[in-house]
Amino acid sequence: MEKSKKQAGTCPLCLREEVETTVHHLTPKEMGGAFLTTAKLCIPCHKQIHALYTNEELALRLHTIPLLKDDPQIKKYLVWIKKQPSSKLLKVKKSKEKKKRR
Ligand SMILES: [Zn+2]
Ligand SMILES: [Zn+2]
Protein backbone atom coordinates (compact mmCIF):
# COMPACT_ATOMS: atom_id res chain seq x y z
CA MET A 1 0.00 0.00 0.00
CA GLU A 2 1.36 3.36 -0.90
CA LYS A 3 1.49 5.84 1.91
CA SER A 4 0.88 9.43 0.99
CA LYS A 5 4.45 10.26 0.21
CA LYS A 6 5.40 13.85 0.50
CA GLN A 7 7.22 15.48 -2.38
CA ALA A 8 7.65 19.00 -3.64
CA GLY A 9 5.87 20.02 -6.80
CA THR A 10 3.26 22.27 -8.30
CA CYS A 11 -0.27 21.77 -7.14
CA PRO A 12 -2.60 21.40 -10.16
CA LEU A 13 -5.47 22.91 -8.23
CA CYS A 14 -4.12 26.09 -6.68
CA LEU A 15 -1.09 26.21 -9.01
CA ARG A 16 1.27 27.18 -6.26
CA GLU A 17 4.79 25.98 -6.92
CA GLU A 18 7.28 24.24 -4.70
CA VAL A 19 4.72 22.98 -2.30
CA GLU A 20 4.59 19.63 -0.59
CA THR A 21 2.20 17.40 -2.47
CA THR A 22 0.33 14.25 -1.62
CA VAL A 23 -1.37 11.79 -3.92
CA HIS A 24 -5.10 12.23 -4.28
CA HIS A 25 -7.19 9.61 -6.00
CA LEU A 26 -9.54 11.59 -8.20
CA THR A 27 -11.96 8.72 -7.90
CA PRO A 28 -11.55 7.65 -4.28
CA LYS A 29 -10.14 4.19 -3.76
CA GLU A 30 -13.20 3.33 -1.76
CA MET A 31 -15.24 4.04 -4.88
CA GLY A 32 -13.16 1.84 -7.15
CA GLY A 33 -10.52 4.38 -8.07
CA ALA A 34 -7.46 2.50 -6.87
CA PHE A 35 -6.15 2.14 -10.41
CA LEU A 36 -7.60 5.29 -11.87
CA THR A 37 -6.14 8.75 -12.22
CA THR A 38 -4.42 10.41 -9.34
CA ALA A 39 -3.32 13.99 -8.86
CA LYS A 40 -0.58 15.37 -6.70
CA LEU A 41 -2.22 18.01 -4.62
CA CYS A 42 -0.73 20.26 -2.03
CA ILE A 43 -1.69 19.43 1.49
CA PRO A 44 -4.14 22.31 2.07
CA CYS A 45 -5.97 21.60 -1.19
CA HIS A 46 -6.13 17.92 -0.45
CA LYS A 47 -7.49 18.48 3.01
CA GLN A 48 -9.96 21.01 1.74
CA ILE A 49 -11.38 18.66 -0.87
CA HIS A 50 -11.96 15.92 1.63
CA ALA A 51 -13.37 18.34 4.15
CA LEU A 52 -15.91 19.64 1.64
CA TYR A 53 -16.93 16.47 -0.12
CA THR A 54 -17.71 12.87 0.56
CA ASN A 55 -16.12 10.08 -1.46
CA GLU A 56 -19.42 9.66 -3.30
CA GLU A 57 -19.51 13.26 -4.41
CA LEU A 58 -15.90 13.13 -5.50
CA ALA A 59 -16.45 9.97 -7.52
CA LEU A 60 -19.68 11.16 -9.09
CA ARG A 61 -19.01 14.73 -10.02
CA LEU A 62 -15.55 15.89 -9.00
CA HIS A 63 -13.30 13.25 -10.48
CA THR A 64 -11.13 15.54 -12.61
CA ILE A 65 -9.08 18.61 -11.79
CA PRO A 66 -11.17 20.86 -14.10
CA LEU A 67 -14.34 19.70 -12.37
CA LEU A 68 -12.85 20.44 -8.99
CA LYS A 69 -11.71 23.84 -10.13
CA ASP A 70 -15.16 24.61 -11.37
CA ASP A 71 -16.87 23.87 -8.11
CA PRO A 72 -18.13 27.04 -6.41
CA GLN A 73 -16.84 26.07 -2.98
CA ILE A 74 -13.43 25.12 -4.32
CA LYS A 75 -13.31 28.35 -6.28
CA LYS A 76 -13.80 30.32 -3.11
CA TYR A 77 -11.09 28.35 -1.41
CA LEU A 78 -8.71 28.85 -4.34
CA VAL A 79 -9.11 32.61 -4.21
CA TRP A 80 -8.06 32.44 -0.60
CA ILE A 81 -5.21 29.97 -0.90
CA LYS A 82 -3.59 31.86 -3.75
CA LYS A 83 -3.02 34.75 -1.45
CA GLN A 84 -1.17 32.55 1.00
CA PRO A 85 2.59 32.24 0.58
CA SER A 86 3.37 28.54 0.45
CA SER A 87 5.91 28.51 3.23
CA LYS A 88 3.85 30.50 5.67
CA LEU A 89 0.93 28.17 5.47
CA LEU A 90 2.33 25.52 7.69
CA LYS A 91 3.42 27.87 10.39
CA VAL A 92 1.21 29.38 12.97
CA LYS A 93 1.47 33.08 12.76
CA LYS A 94 2.59 34.72 15.92
CA SER A 95 0.94 38.03 15.80
CA LYS A 96 -0.55 40.57 18.05
CA GLU A 97 -3.84 38.80 18.09
CA LYS A 98 -3.44 37.86 21.68
CA LYS A 99 -4.06 41.43 22.62
CA LYS A 100 -7.76 41.16 22.89
CA ARG A 101 -8.75 40.79 26.46
CA ARG A 102 -12.02 40.85 28.13
ZN1 LIG B 1 -3.03 23.26 -3.90
ZN1 LIG C 1 -7.55 12.56 -1.59
Does residue 99 sit within a domain?
A: no
Separation of CA 52 and ligand 1 centre (Å): 14
Ligand nearest to C-alpha 24: 2
Ligand nearest to C-alpha 37: 2
Does residue 80 sit within a domain?
A: yes
Does residue 100 sit within a domain?
A: no
Does residue 96 sit within a domain?
A: no
| Burial class for 68, CB neighbours closer than 10 Å (0-12, 13-18, 19+) | buried
Parallel/antiparallel/unpaired status of strands 7-9 and 19-25: antiparallel
Separation of CA 92 and ligand 2 centre (Å): 24
Range of the domain at 72: 7-84
Judge whether residue 64 has pLDDT over 50: yes
pLDDT digits 0-9 by tens, 20-37: 999 999 999 999 999 999
Check residues 86 and 81 and name the one with the higher pLDDT.
81
Average pLDDT, integer, range 86-96: 56
List CB contacts of 81: < 8 A, sequence separation 6 or more. 14, 16, 44, 45, 48
Does residue 91 sit within a domain?
A: no
Structural domain total, the chain: 1
Ligand nearest to C-alpha 18: 1
Res 98: pLDDT: 60
Separation of CA 32 and ligand 1 centre (Å): 24
Average pLDDT, integer, range 33-59: 96
Res 91: pLDDT: 52
Separation of CA 101 and ligand 1 centre (Å): 36
